[in-house]
Each structure stands twice: as C-alpha cells, then as structure tokens.
Structure 1
Amino acid sequence: MPTVPILMPQLGESIAEATIIRFDIEPGQQVQADQEVIEVETQKATMGVTTLCEGTVKEICVEEGETYAVGTTLGLLEVTEEEVAKTGVETLESAAEKRSAASGPRDEEKNLHFAVDDDSYEERAPVVEPSVRGLPVPAGVKGAHYISPRMKARMDEMGLREADISAIVGTGAGGRVTVEDLEKFIDYIDTWPSSHASPMRLAVADAMRRSWTRPLATVSRPVFLDRVLDHRRQQDPKPGLTLYVLRAFAIALSEDPRSAGYLIGERIVHPRAFDIGVAVQVDDGVMVPVLRNVDTMTLPQLTNNYAEMVDRARRRRLSEEDTSAGIATVTNFGTFGLTHGTPIPLPNETLILGLAAGEKKPVWSSEVEAFVPATVAEIAVTFDHRVVDGGGAGLLLARISELLQTPEKL
C-alpha cells in the first residue's frame, strides 16, 4: 500500500522547530483526514499536528520530549490508492520516483568524491537541539571577562552564551575565562540537581537577553485607585484593574505617541496602531497576547476580548498573529502581592507598564483637613532610554494617573 508521511508543519513564520509533547496515535490505529494526531510545543504555543488523509498508522518515527525541525517526518500512514487519488497527497513512493527522474543516471567518474551507496542510505528524522540553552551557575563568584576565539568556539559547540558563563572565575591573563575553566565548571555542576528548560522558558530567556542589550530605565509613581474600584463594582461583567490601566495607557500614548517610538539607526519609527500586549502568567513562563487598537475600544469590548485571549494563552492556543506587532505591554505584577517592580519590555517594544498591588494608606484630604484612607498602588514604566527620557516617562505616568481618576470616560 502507498505510504504518506506525517510531517512537522510550518507552525509560524519564525518557527523552525517544535518539541513533541504527546502522541494521540499508535501503530495500527485508523485515522481520519485532518485528525489531530500529535501535540507539539513551540516557543509560543502548544499546537496539534494533523493528518492529510485517511489511513492506518504504520510507524511513529520520532520520540516524545525531543525537538524536531520543520519538515521532519514524524510518522507514516498506510493509505489506499483510492485515498491518494481523492486527496491528491504525495506518497513516499511517488516522491522517490520524482527524485530519481530528476537526478538522472549517476556519473561514477565525475562524482567519486560524493558517491553515495543508495542501498545503504537510510532517511532518519534529524533531532534538533533547542537553540537557546540555559546553564545553572553558583552565586557569589566573580564574572567572566574577555572571551578568546578558542573559548567562543567551545561555547558555540556547547550552545552557551556569554551570560551562561558570567559566574565563572577566570584564571587566564587579565581574569580571562579559559576553556579549562569552562570544562572544570561544567564538571563541577554535573552532579547538581537540574531540570529540563521548556521551549517557553527558553523563549523568555532569549527575549530578555535581547531586551537587555539596550539601555533600559524604570520610573514609577503612586496612583489612587478608589474611583476605579467604585466604577468597577457597578460593571457587569467587571473589568480587571489591568484593563483600566491598559485603556488609560493606550489613550495617553495616542495623545503623544513619541514615547512608543522605536529607534532604528538614526530614525525613530512611530506606531501606526496602538496594539498593546498583556502579560499572562502560564505554567513555565509568560505569554503576551496583543489586543488591537486599544485606544478606540471601550472597556466592555476590552473585557470580552481580554477574557478570550487569556483563556487561549493558558491553553497555549495563541497563534503567531495573536502575539505579534505590539508596541508596548502591560503587566499586573500586583496579582502576586508585589508592591514594586521593574518589568522589562520585549525586544520589539520600547515600553512596558507595570501595576503593583494596591494598599490602604492614610492620605491627607484638603477638603476635610484630615487623613482619610485611600487605596494606592504604584505604576511603573520601563523604557528604552535612547528613545524616552525620564521626564517624558514621568509625564506619561502622570497622564495615566489623571485618566484613571475619571474611569467612566475610559
């Protein structure tokens, strides 16, 4: 019977590999066309690999927990000639015939250095290691300095970056970390407890490493939340505090978009739409679904869109389009009881706004000439100092605070 491969699909424009999470099939099982048969995880989401046609599972060619490149053969289906004719899928047999016809007869005299014994050649699914690997390091030791070409080559072999070796004490000239230092350190931590870093964790690590190549700064100020909380009690469904801040943030940026510019060479590129992401905590990292045109949406519209996005994020069902092209991010670290924070923006964004936990504090009221209780929280903005100065960031926070005092207008 003809054989049809189950291939690792292109799961996103910038995604080159995915990790096998679970098999929903086994050899000998009958499957239908477009049936989800394998669950895979990319750096951004968990997705299902589907079949192209109806058939019987002949073989599973990969292993759970391993990472494979796009185009890898994950499994094989035995199908009927009728199914091939109906769906038009390409079988392994027809693909081999096309390759043979295209290559033509081999010229043994001209290709001696590249001759391949076809009978002994066997296709195997290439295992691709994750592109970013973290390394646990002990605290309290000095950092690395200059990296020699030999050391850099060894790091490349091991998939390490400069940040991974920053805790190693160098014994070379001028405090340089040598290959011997690295090997000794690897041996030293070899018996330490460790765990596998998920694609999500590696994606967050890579994004934060790239973000930190810029000069980032954070400023903050207190904001009064009592009017927002009173307004929220009257709404059904009730918007979260994050959405009030998100809406005020978008309005403030739309009024003066210079803070959201992005420096490219000698140009500052300004946003053409106020699409803002919201950080959502998941099991092993953070996902940032992007809400579109926040400056033109009402709070009820945002509430519905946000609830749907958060649900999809926690189920790892966000598409690349759902997480791309944001100009800034809002994160509510106050949900963890934190009263202060310095969030880091994504590499493609200049700004991130953080909301801390609200606290009841005595505040002087000039109206009653006495201290009265008020709910106060800190809002902080981290920004690319090449684009925004502290004064500009402070004015942005002041405008957000002002907008939050009239929540009925948001």
Structure 2
Amino acid sequence: MAVKIEMPKLSLTMSEGTVLHWMKKVGDPVKKGDAIVEVSSDKEVCELDAPEDGVLLDVTAKEGESVACHTVLAYIGQPAETVQVKETSSEAANNGNHIEAARDSNPSSRTITSSPSEKVKISPVARKMATEAGLDIQSIVGTGPNGRISKEDIEKAIQEAGNREEKRETPVLESAIKEAVSVENSEKRPVIGMRKVIAKRMQESLQQSAQLTHHMKADITELLSLKKKTALLVEKQHNTKYTLTDFIARAVVLSLQEHKQMNSAFIEEEIHIYNHIHLGIAAEVENGLVVPVVSHADSKSLVELSQSIKELSQLAKTKQLKSNQMRGSTFTISNLGSYGIEYFTPILNTPETGILGVGAAQETPVFVGDQVQKRILLPLSLTFNHQVLDGAPAAQFLQTLKNYLEEPIHLYL
C-alpha cells in the first residue's frame, strides 16, 4: 500500500510550508532515508526523507507552491501500484460531498472524477483569502495539481486587482515608473522559501512594534588585550578559543540580568518579563538568515556560552538546526562586524523587546587625559520596542553593556 509524505508542522506557529526542491521525480526508485523533497517552514528549511523503500509514485505539489500543514506532497509505493486519493474540503464535507481521484505511477494515465456539486477546486487557505479579498473564485485559473486554486493563485489575483485599481487611480505615477525602469534590463525572481518567510516577518515586525535605535561605542582595547593574554590557558584547559561574539554575549547576559525589562516581550497588549535569558545569535546561511537560540544563557559561564554558540553556529552552517533550537529567544544579537559595517539599524525579532547590532571594531585616536592614545572602539546599535520601555531605560541598558565590555575582568567571573 502506498505511503504518504506530508508537509510537516515543525512549530506551533506554522500553518503552511513551501515546497522548494524535489530531489526525486516520479518513477525514481527510493530507499528508506533518502532525501525526497526540500521544504521550508515559517522558520527553517528542512529535507523530508523516504519512510520506506519503493518508487516515487506521484507528486502532488509543485516547486514553489505553498500548502497547508499535513497536506500530502507525494506517495511512495511499489512499481505499477495505483494510488487512491480521497480528499475532502471543509465546505464539501458539510454537504457530504467529496472528490475521488485515481492515480498510478504513469502521470499520463491519471483519471479524475468529481461530484457535480464540486465546481471549483481550491485549498481552504486560498478560499479564506479569496473571501476576505472579495474575489470571484470562478474567474481564477488554478495552477495547483489538477487545476486546484492555491494560495499563490489568490495572491496573484489580489496583486493584479490592486494593480488595476492603482492604474485607474494613479496613471501618472505608473507612467513615470515605466519610464524609469527598463523591462529589458531587469531580472524577475519569485520570492519563495526562506526569503519569503524573512520578508513577511520583517514587515510584520515593523508593523507590530514602535522601534527606536540607540547608538554607542565601547572601548574594547583592554578586552582584546585580556583575550590575547588568556588565549593559551583557555585553549589548554577548555580546548576552545574565545571570539569577540562570546564576550559580547556574556556582557549582554549580565546586562539583561540588571535591566530585566529589556529581557521581555510585548504580546497582546501585555509586557511579559522573563525570568530566564534565552539568547538568539543571528547567523547567515545560504539564501537567508536563521537565529539559533542559546537556552538558559544566564546559567552558563563564559566558556559554556562560547561552546554553545560554536555548536549552534556549526549546525546552522550544515543545515542541521532543529526547529526547537530556533525558538523561544528573549533577546537577539546580530553581528555585522566581519562585513566592515559600523552602525546599522537591526529589526526586532518580534515579540522580543530588544536586539543588539554589533559593528566592526576600529582603531581610533582617543584622548586619555591629556594624551592621545590608539584605542579600539566597537560600534553598538540597540533597537528596542518603545511600547515596552522608554529611551532612558534603554540607554541605561546600553551603558551597562558598555561598562562590562570596558571592564572585561567581570566577564570571566
């Protein structure tokens, strides 16, 4: 009997996923454990494996298509086996109607029968979107399996409707845009997978919070000197090497313990102040950005914090992070120093209250008393939610962080 491969629900907030790439095609033999398809959830990209040996009999979702969790993506069975699919929409179920489709391993021989009352094939998510947008689904051509209207079809219809409205209202603006942009010199790329998730989350972050950014420089000359002096001892005793990010993370944890309101979240008109610190460390991966989380960072020493950051970073680079390793952060650090960036405005990882942006350390002439000395200054950018706390408390947190970085002996304790 054929076995289903379904879109998994990898997090509590995930309602749908996107099919990114099929590693196998219909008719290909597969073995248990073989990667079949790459999908993206609301926070990560993962591969789905074959649950048993057999042949890939059928694929029901195209690359780039978004489908609801637990939707069947493919069937695996024995060669020449016929797949019986029974799918019931919520609307059809209320009327006792359903669609039955018979499929076999030869796509050209598929036959479909449906009840007369089932006029339009459309996913529940797409139907809801169409109703909210006031669209006539009878006039929309579905691009999903067997002509089914998908979420992407509705989004396209909404966009086209908006374009038509904008054309009627602002013909002069549209003309100016056409003159400014040459179609021949542009390349269009669909926003799918992780890029689509990131775009959505960033827009929601700015819409749902009042974000303000403070900037400050910390003198880390003594910190780097102490790091160099203790490098051999640390490597010998703990078989590791401290990075600047390790010290910054430790300083953030200590500062959050003193300024508890920064370690909070704004959720449904309430401020949730957390008792533990779960530190998110933004990491760049292919085609996007992920935020691994060091859980209970407040209970870890500097060396333990360093080891956790390195382990998570390696998992991120090899795409082995699990969904629970990217959930539950209470504060986030984003370091762009390796790119030569000084100051920038990080966007909150909502519903968190704060995120720290770290720039590139620079050698700078500084007056120390009456003398000019070469010092190393580190740019810091703190974005915070003004709905949770005001500018002065945020500035106090940043000042405390600066003090810890400039008096590094406290980071070792």
Q: Shared fold by TM > 0.5?
A: yes
Count of paired positions: 355
User: Are 1:242 and 2:236 counterparts?
Assistant: no
**How far off is 1:360 after superposition?**
0.8
**How far off is 1:199 after superposition?**
1.6
Partner residue of 2:281? Answer: 278
Partner residue of 1:121? Answer: 113
| Aligned residue identity for 1:9 | P
Among candidates 341, 348, 351, match of residue 348 of structure 1 = 351
Give the ranges of 4+ consecutive aligned residues of structure 1 lying more than 6 Å apart after TM superposition: 115-119, 125-130, 168-172, 180-190
Aligned residue for 2:113, secondary structure, equals coil
Among candidates 183, 189, 192, match of residue 195 of structure 1 = 189
Which has the larger displacement, 394-403 or 255-264? 255-264
**How far off is 1:185 after superposition?**
7.0
Partner residue of 1:210? Answer: 204
**How far off is 1:54 after superposition?**
3.2
**How far off is 1:10 after superposition?**
2.7
Please give the per-residue CA displacement for 1:314-366, whole angstroms capped at 9, x wherever unaligned: 33332221111111111112221011111111121110111111111111223
Give yes or no for contact 2:223–2:405 (8 Å, CA) kept in 1: yes
**How far off is 1:259 after superposition?**
2.4
Structure 1: distance between partners of 2:212 and 2:191? 29
Greater fraction of residues in helix: 2
User: Are 1:29 and 2:29 counterparts?
Assistant: yes
Give yes or no for contact 1:68–1:126 (8 Å, CA) kept in 2: no
1:150-229 correspondence runs (5 A): 158=157, 160=159, 192-213=186-207, 214-229=209-224
Structure 1: distance between partners of 2:189 and 2:243? 35
Please give the per-residue CA displacement for 1:92-111, whole angstroms capped at 9, x wherever unaligned: 66x86x99xxx9xxxxxx98
Partner residue of 1:58? Answer: 57
| Aligned residue identity for 1:203 | V
Partner residue of 1:9? Answer: 8
**How far off is 1:64 after superposition?**
4.0
C-alpha RMSD over aligned residues: 4.1
For structure 2, list consecutive stretches of 5 or more residues without a partner in the other structure: 102-110, 116-120, 127-132, 141-153
Structure 2: distance between partners of 1:317 and 1:330? 21
Structure 1: distance between partners of 2:258 and 2:27? 60
1:386-397 correspondence runs (5 A): 386-397=387-398
Aligned residue for 2:11, secondary structure, equals coil
**How far off is 1:157 after superposition?**
5.5
Among candidates 252, 255, 265, match of residue 255 of structure 2 = 252
Give yes or no for contact 1:5–1:92 (8 Å, CA) kept in 2: no
| Aligned residue identity for 1:245 | I
Distance 1:122 1:20, change over 3 A: farther
User: Are 1:379 and 2:380 counterparts?
Assistant: yes
Distance 1:126 1:220, change over 3 A: same
Partner residue of 1:146? Answer: none
Structure 1: distance between partners of 2:98 and 2:38? 39
User: Are 1:232 and 2:227 counterparts?
Assistant: yes
Distance 1:252 1:115, change over 3 A: closer
Give yes or no for contact 1:263–1:269 (8 Å, CA) kept in 2: yes
User: Are 1:321 and 2:315 counterparts?
Assistant: no
Give yes or no for contact 2:100–2:114 (8 Å, CA) kept in 1: no
Please give the per-residue CA displacement for 1:99-147, whole angstroms capped at 9, x wherever unaligned: 9xxx9xxxxxx98xx6979884279x989999xxxxxxxxxxxxxxxxx
Structure 2: distance between partners of 1:76 and 1:117? 16
**How far off is 1:62 after superposition?**
4.2
Give yes or no for contact 1:57–1:78 (8 Å, CA) kept in 2: yes
Give yes or no for contact 1:4–1:79 (8 Å, CA) kept in 2: no
Structure 2: distance between partners of 1:22 and 1:409? 51
| Aligned residue identity for 1:211 | S
| Aligned residue identity for 1:195 | R
**How far off is 1:78 after superposition?**
2.5
Structure 1: distance between partners of 2:194 and 2:200? 10
**How far off is 1:79 after superposition?**
4.6
| Aligned residue identity for 1:333 | L
Give yes or no for contact 1:343–1:354 (8 Å, CA) kept in 2: yes
Structure 1: distance between partners of 2:260 and 2:166? 46
**How far off is 1:14 after superposition?**
2.7
Structure 2: distance between partners of 1:210 and 1:4? 38
**How far off is 1:261 after superposition?**
3.0
Aligned residue for 1:212, secondary structure, equals helix
Please give the per-residue CA displacement for 1:232-263, whole angstroms capped at 9, x wherever unaligned: 22233222212211111111111220223333
Which has the larger displacement, 313-322 or 35-44? 35-44
Partner residue of 1:88? Answer: none
- Percent of aligned positions that are identical: 20
Aligned residue for 1:121, secondary structure, equals strand
Structure 2: distance between partners of 1:259 and 1:3? 52
Partner residue of 1:304? Answer: 307
1:333-372 correspondence runs (5 A): 333-366=336-369, 369-372=370-373
**How far off is 1:403 after superposition?**
0.9
Partner residue of 1:409? Answer: 410
**How far off is 1:391 after superposition?**
1.0
| Aligned residue identity for 1:121 | T
Distance 1:292 1:30, change over 3 A: closer
| Aligned residue identity for 2:241 | K
Give yes or no for contact 1:343–1:352 (8 Å, CA) kept in 2: yes
Distance 1:160 1:62, change over 3 A: closer
Distance 1:186 1:243, change over 3 A: farther
